[in-house]
Amino acid sequence: MPTRDSLYGTPDKLLARLRLHTEFATHPLGWFPWWHETVQPARFARVLDVGCGDGSLWAAAESLPERLTLVDTSPGMLTRAGERVAGRGSEVVRVNASAHALPFDDASFDAVIANHMLYHTTPPRALAELRRVLSRGGRLFAATNGPDAMAEMHDLITVLRPSYRRPHFHEVFGLHNGPAMVAQHFEDVRVERYPNHLEVTDSRALIDYILSMEATKDLTAEEQAQLRSGADAQITEHGHLRIQGDTGVITARAAQNPWAPRILEEQPDVEARLVDVQLHLRLDRDVDVVAEAVGDVAQLRE
């Protein structure tokens, strides 16, 4: 599978994707405004954006958190992101780092943002790091796609190239399987779906998007012309090319009780069996219930 750096090492590929999703969205707000209305990140004092890209998410914000830390593996993206949030009254820190090894102390942030990037990681490892740097009760907001995202576009490519296999990022971390992964490290896991589809009226924008994908970056001029012809035929017939959306945000809260994360770190081999135990380790339960849960952990260790 292509790496995030190979996909977004420079802004051009990302901009091609953003253009399609921004110009042809049918939701009245569009993705970034909808995201800000749903998440409201400015309500948190210390916010970490892991895999921040070129900062488009924050360029669309009416206001910024008091302290915003931007993390990305691409120095070029960090530079661009820093430029887009400069002079807006927030303390901004830029860090070149991986989600797998964040250079921050435990409980350093009140909210962590992972906007369409966890499928470029090893999710269990990255989610453990995100949980580590969150304070108790801190919030996680992880945007991702479901299996039906952009289905019509992938169908067009398959007609041209029968051997084409659509990227399976959603299988790594998607709306359908991501919540279970998040629940291994967080509580109060929910999914907020973005009700949107695209109505594309410019086939050139669609071709630029397709060329930004690793699997189709080598399309010949003839293949590009064939794709445009197929897209234009649908645009002429229907007034637009409809492309399905399947996107949203997985939200979660860092456990209020500090014991559960420590238990999971000490016993990763029984992580799945300890999920039920975590549910008992809440500060709002009485001492007897907590003692019973700790007893369950002791039995698992034997």
What distances in angstroms separate CA 187 from CA 17, 153, 184, 255, 258, one per listed residue?
32, 35, 8, 6, 12
pLDDT in tens, 135-186: 999 999 999 999 999 999 999 999 999 989 888 888 999 999 999 999 999 9
Determine the pLDDT at residue 55. 95
Give the model's pLDDT for residue 91: 96
pTM, full prediction: 0.79
How many CB atoms neighbour CB 46 within 10 A?
20
Q: How many CB atoms lie under 10 A from the CB of residue 95?
A: 15
pLDDT at 287: 36
Stronger pLDDT, 54 or 14, i.e. the higher one? 54
Domain boundaries along the sequence of the chain: 4-254, 257-302
Q: Is residue 17 packed enough to be buried (19+ CB in 10 Å), middle (13-18) or exposed (0-12)? A: middle
Amino acid making up residue 104: F
Confidence of residue 274 (pLDDT cuts 50, 70, 90): very low
- Torsions phi, psi for 67 (to 5 deg): -135, 120
pLDDT in tens, 196-205: 999 999 999 9
- The CA distance from 138 to 117, in Å, is 19
Q: What is the mean pLDDT of residues 202-222?
A: 93
Per-residue tokens: 157: 């490519």
Can you give the pLDDT at residue 214? Answer: 87
Q: Rounded to 10 degrees, what is the CA torsion of 148, 251, 189, 269?
A: 90
Mean pLDDT over the full length of the chain: 85
Can you name the CATH fold of 4-254?
A: Rossmann fold (3.40.50)
Burial class (CB in 10 A: 0-12, 13-18, 19+), 201: middle
Residue 251 CA to residue 207 CA, distance in Å, equals 33
pLDDT at 298 (0 to 100): 43
Residue 256 is predicted with a pLDDT of 74
